[in-house]
Amino acid sequence: MENLLPIAIGILIACGSYLCMRRNLVRVLLGIMLFSQAANLLIFTAAGLSSGQPPIIAPDKLTIAGPHADPLPQALVLTAIVIGFAVLAFAIALVLRAYHKTGSDDLDTFRRSDS
């Protein structure tokens, strides 16, 4: 897993960057989505992977015994996912409205605010 995940992150970032540079708004949106997922996965991977070692202190002990998973990155990733979800929801609504208003989803036509 430790070797596979960095490759997966790399692929996600490559795909995200490629989509971000398209002119079609929906693709750009998908691109930044992939980008933020790659970032989440990277936090998860960088903090170390382990399986079957819950960070739970046995009822009769005061400290944890043996190696254990770090619970913090999971909390961080969860927060980041929720925030990403909120931003993305807004972005989708925005793109939809912008499409209705401008009649186009081509970023090259979005020049009115740049004069």
Q: Nearer Cβ to another protein, position 8 or 91?
A: 91
Q: Which two tokens stand for residue 36?
A: 């933020």
Least separation in angstroms between residue 65's CB and another protein is 19
93 contributes a contact to another protein by CB under 8 A: yes
Q: What angle do CA 81, 82, 84 make, to 5 degrees?
A: 60
The C-alpha R_g of the chain, in whole angstroms, comes to 20
Say if residue 114 is exposed, middle or buried (CB neighbours under 10 Å; 0-12, 13-18, 19+).
exposed
Q: What mask of x and - would describe binding to another protein in positions 38 to 77, judged by CB under 8 A?
A: xxx-xxxxxxx---------------------x-xx--x-
Least separation in angstroms between residue 99's CB and another protein is 8
CA atoms within 13 A on the CB side of 115: 0
Residues engaged in binding another protein (CB under 8 A)? 20, 25, 28, 32, 35-36, 38-40, 42-48, 70, 72-73, 76, 79-80, 82-83, 86-87, 89-98, 100-102, 107, 110-115
